[in-house]
Amino acid sequence: MASAGARLARLYISCSGVILRRSLSHAGMEDMGVNTSRSCLERLEFDNVALKKLPLDPSTEPGIRQVRGACFSRVQPTPLKNPEFVAVSGPTLALLGLDADEVLKDPLGPEYLSGSKVMPGSEPAAHCYCGHQFGQFAGQLGDGAACYLGENPTGRWEIQVKGAGLTPYSRQADGRKVLRSSIREFLCSEAVFGLGVPTTRAGSVVTSDSRVMRDVFYDGNPRMERCSVVLRIAPSFIRFGSFEIFKRADEFTGRQGPSYGHDEIRTQMLDYVIESFYPEIHQNHSDRIERNTAFFREVTLRTARLVAQWQCVGFCHGVLNTDNMSILGLTLDYGPFGFMDRFDPDFICNASDTSGRYSYQAQPAICRWNLARLAEALVPDLPPDRAKQVLDEYLPLYNDFYLSNMRKKLGLLKKEEPEDEILLTELMQTMHNTGADFSNTFRSLSQISCPTQQEGEDESEAIKQATELLLQQCASLEELKAANRPTMDPRELAMLLSMAQSNPALFQMISDRKTVARQLERLSRLKELMDTTVEQLRAKQTEDWSRWIKKYRQRLACECESGLDVKELQEERVRVMNNNNPYVVLRNYIAQNAVEAAENGDFSEVGPLQALCSFYSLVRDTDFFFLLKLMLLFS
């Protein structure tokens, strides 16, 4: 029997803007009509403002090199062999004034949207930037695989292809991306958009018969993979690291930005960013220092709001280096991302992040650290004392955004009580202790009703029913044991513990106390679980949830004290909670299923999955099931 994804992919359905392909292979001649003389993509407008406003590398020298005194370098994308569409996002293409149906039928579509053929008006270029990677300044990085195609004035969008070949910034890489990474970025950028989180967008994925060698598991067993390209759009892809190309020699690594000493270019780029993307700030401040401070304050606010939104949907970016932080407060560059399944504050989605620098719970602090590096890069246009004042505002801003979002997720709409933060902290601790599923637990909370005056003696029964509901989301004993196994070899851990006592200086060079403490905590928790029976675990989970639910219902009772109709309040509460607790998140195994099918030549899983994820904002409650039934009905 064909999979649901395959059945959904057989046709186009337009429902509240959702477009699904009936086939993601090349369109047949019968579908093209007679007017094939001019591609729809050849009519796409370009004005390429960034290349006019910012210095362009005059050199056309091929190969990898340091690029000094420039923000962009001209490049020529490397054509793919037999490019073909894997999937497109109709709503994203519509932002450029393109019709997805027309693009899919265009015989030149895969070539143009992979960079294999350059669209009229496009000026391919690669952006130069630096970055702090895992806390260390790495020097020049730049677009090693991404290629700026130009800017479309319809809504002001920068168009970029990722995986289009070598640039001066490719370092030891080949400038290519493969099918699995391209599909993951395509799906997640659209899924994050569907969750209402600011992000770059993905318009299409193109694959090909071109191949590159990749060691997928870093185990010494590389294999050939298909070269693929994802089309990305955003108002701008300028990032924190864009301003680090002017950095003086770093005191730890000795590296410096390639354009160190070109302070006039930093000022030029700062003017361009503020005038183009923060016009109100530019208009409202005649004094440059005041203007630049207001700009940094807005970037700080957007960053605090962004990471608060990540935390509230259980999203972990995985590589929050300064070169992956957008100057516009967008989610940028989807590498080893992950949505949490079981709640774990130490959740790490990047296998190379052995220290947990970019773990889920570390994201807010890391974003502030990155803002501090941006502030350093803007000196003297942004005086350090002014930057410090703004940075001091970050944590209160983040906490306000986070608590505001979490109150909606908990259905606390009418009052803001001081104990709300404690209630939330205890919820997270209970979820962690019981191994509860992050997304499903929050989604289930809307089924816990506000207590009524008539309830009386039935309160214990209501708590019991709510507890049974949430116990369904808890991990089993074996799952908890697996989740708490140390990720470090016991012999290595023993060696580090000994070294911490005998040679602290060497220990600091090899590891850190936080990492070791995390491993010891896992060991302790695992030992406790090994001595626990299934019945004992269930009893403990029941006790933990019953205790929290009682406090939660007491807090819900405060909502009813405003004299509002309890029924109306409950209906509003459920609506708001379901709008803020996603029914659909892009779990890793779901994305992996689509990737594996595509690698076997079946692209039918990608389009429907993207549509359901990216239109979460339109797919709430019964609407989700209605849409799903509608698609199945017509498949």
Is the CB of residue 606 less than 8 Å from the CB of residue 598? yes
> Angle formed by the axes of helices 363-378 and 384-391, to 10°?
160
Residue in the block written with tokens 């890489």: 173
Report the DSSP beta bridge partners of residue 417: none
Report the C-alpha gap between 83 and 116 in whole angstroms: 8
Residue in the block written with tokens 């391919």: 124
Relative to beta strand 56-57, strand 72-74 is: parallel
Report the C-alpha gap between 12 and 20 in whole angstroms: 5
Q: Which two tokens stand for residue 210?
A: 């071109």
> Angle formed by the axes of helices 363-378 and 263-277, to 10°?
120
- Amino acid in the structure at residue 185: E
Report the C-alpha gap between 207 and 205 in whole angstroms: 7
DSSP 432-496: HHHT-BHHHHHHHGGGSPPP-TTTGGGHHHHHHHHHHHHHTTSPPHHHHHHHTS-SS-HHHHHHH
Is the CB of residue 100 less than 8 Å from the CB of residue 228? no
Closest C-alpha among 611, 626, 604, 629 to residue 22: 604
Q: What is the DSSP letter of 180?
A: H
Report the C-alpha gap between 119 and 312 in whole angstroms: 40
Contacts of 539 (CB under 8 A, 6+ apart): none
Is the CB of residue 329 less than 8 Å from the CB of residue 344? no
Given 101, 323, 341, 544, the catalytic residue: 323
Is the CB of residue 409 less than 8 Å from the CB of residue 580? yes
Relative to beta strand 130-133, strand 146-152 is: unpaired
Is the CB of residue 171 less than 8 Å from the CB of residue 362? no
Q: Which two tokens stand for residue 316?
A: 């972990």
The values of phi and psi at residue 470, to 5°, are -80, -25
To the query of whether residue 323 is one of the catalytic residues in this protein, the response is: yes
Length of the chain (residues) = 635
Three-state secondary structure readout of 307-326 = HHHHHHHCEECCCCCHHHEE
Q: Which two tokens stand for residue 613?
A: 């994820």
Residue 337, CB half-sphere, CA atoms under 13 Å: how many? 28
Q: What is the DSSP letter of 331?
A: B
Three-state secondary structure readout of 585-619 = CCCHHHHHHHHHHHHCCCCCCHHHHHHHHHCHHHC
Report the C-alpha gap between 579 and 29 in whole angstroms: 44
- First CA to last CA distance, the chain: 13
The values of phi and psi at residue 228, to 5°, are -140, 160
- Amino acid in the structure at residue 624: F
Q: Which residues are catalytic?
A: 323
